[in-house]
Amino acid sequence: MNSPFDLAGALAARREAALLRARSAVCLDGLRLRVEGRDYLHFAGNDYLGLAREPVLAEAFADGVARFGAGSGASPLVTGYQEAHRRLEETLCDWLGVEAALLFNCGFSANQAVLKALLGKGHRLWQDRLNHASLQEAGSQLPCTMRRFAHNDMGALARQLEPAAGLIVSEGVFSMDGDLGAWPALCELAAETNNWLMIDDAHGLGVLGPEGRGTLASLGIAPGRVHIHMGTFGKALGVAGAFVAGSRELVEYLTNFARTYVYSTHMPPAQAHAITAAIGLARDGEGHREQLARLIDHFRSGALAQGWQLGQSHTPIQPLLVGESEAALRLAMRLRARGIWVSAIRPPTVPAGTARLRITLSAAHGEADVDALLTALDACREGA
């Protein structure tokens, strides 16, 4: 009654719109998921190379804990930045062909830190409409002017751009659609108008390009054409954390002005040690990437033959478009009854009317797993 916050009302509105979210504490063993005593085969994670359960990586993490202890003990400008962190930064530079890199505890805070450190009152920020929530949210809270362009619509972006006014941000692989950003055109537009360009490659890193170097490498784009590279370690690399990379000057600037870097306890050195090992595995992961490509083809041809509508994606993120939130939720529940776990993705994560199943494939899946998914989907068609 007399509370300043109407939590119950907000929750009831979400429930009525079939948008209420809830968590389930799961037991995860690779691709097997145990929830409330039932086992499922899941196609819902972001562990695209299957590294999160890779024993070599777990051993590297344990070795890191034995050598460096459990935590870093301080923020990076105090005593938190240690040898293991420096080695990871150097490994990143060698892998991606960038001058310098900086580690963050997670991608969400890395994106916020970069935008907040760079964009002031007079600046412009141009974002793809489907960019991740961390980017949209930071942009809308900043004093700069944010313009959003329709997904991958380079004509719309070109009309919005002003010379040397700010930053264009897009993603390597879009997280809910699995398609790529229009990077050749983005690079041209940025160069022509003297604006900066930032890539969030959370879903491309490890998965695309030679040695898994990511979206830009897969398109043959030199890293120097993009001013700010952001990537995460919690998806294909199987650990957690994030980085921002680019020129030495950029990294020195962020070391001074990125507040979530300066005022936050640095990631445990054991984690940095494990991520360095994960990068080694990803670089050598051509076999995993070939396996993924086979599974993606197999899934797409099977689902399309059943008449499902898929996105224009050739990455491990395969959206199966349903439309209304209730229908997406119903389909996810019917699959669950058949032992298959996938996520129904609803607004506000995706635009209204585009609710979907976000099906993700991992190199740890086998062809028989994809067959099990296809069999269940076939049995769950409306009217089937």
Ligand X SMILES: *Cc1c(COP(=O)(O)O)cnc(C)c1O
Give the residues lining the site for ligand X (CB under 6 A): 106-108, 111, 132, 134, 171, 175, 200, 202-203, 232, 234, 242
Which residue number, 171 or 369, has a Cβ lying nearer to ligand X?
A: 171
77's tokens: 């400008």
Selection from 186, 200, 75 nearest residue 134 by Cα: 200
Tokens 């229009």 — which residue?
182
Q: Is 349 annotated as a binding residue?
A: yes
Q: Which of 116, 123, 235, 288 is catalytic?
A: 235
Q: Is 175 annotated as a binding residue?
A: yes
Q: Which of 42, 132, 266, 365 is catalytic?
A: 132
141 forms bridges with which residues in the sheet? Answer: none
Q: Is 107 annotated as a binding residue?
A: yes
- Distance from CA of residue 363 to its chain's centroid? 17
**What does the alpha-carbon distance between residue 330 and residue 344 come to, in Å, rounded to a whole number?**
9
Q: Which of 54, 89, 128, 171 is catalytic?
A: 171
151's tokens: 């997904």
Which residue number, 130 or 380, has a Cβ lying nearer to ligand X?
A: 130
Q: Which of 203, 266, 273, 365 is catalytic?
A: 203
Q: Is 203 annotated as a binding residue?
A: yes
Q: Is 288 annotated as a binding residue?
A: no
Q: Is 365 annotated as a binding residue?
A: no
Active site residue 175: yes
**What does the alpha-carbon distance between residue 189 and residue 195 come to, in Å, rounded to a whole number?**
8
Which residue number, 138 or 322, has a Cβ lying nearer to ligand X?
A: 138
β 100-104/38-42 pair status: unpaired
Neighbours of 211 (CB within 10 A): 16
**What's the one-letter identity of residue 236?**
A
**What does the alpha-carbon distance between residue 74 and residue 268 come to, in Å, rounded to a whole number?**
10
We find the least distance from the C-beta atom of residue 367 to ligand X, in angstroms, to be 27
We find the least distance from the C-beta atom of residue 190 to ligand X, in angstroms, to be 19
We find the least distance from the C-beta atom of residue 66 to ligand X, in angstroms, to be 25
Active site residue 132: yes
We find the least distance from the C-beta atom of residue 174 to ligand X, in angstroms, to be 8
Which residue number, 82 or 260, has a Cβ lying nearer to ligand X?
A: 260
DSSP character string of 37-91? TEEEEE---S-TTS-TT-HHHHHHHHHHHHHH-S---S-IIIII--HHHHHHHHH
Active site residue 116: no
Active site residue 46: yes
Which residue number, 175 or 325, has a Cβ lying nearer to ligand X?
A: 175
We find the least distance from the C-beta atom of residue 136 to ligand X, in angstroms, to be 10
What is the chain's Cα-based Rg? 21
Q: Which of 42, 46, 116, 362 is catalytic?
A: 46
Point out the annotated binding site for pyridoxal 5'-phosphate.
107-108, 175, 203, 232
Question: Annotated active-site positions, please?
Answer: 46, 132, 171, 175, 200, 203, 235
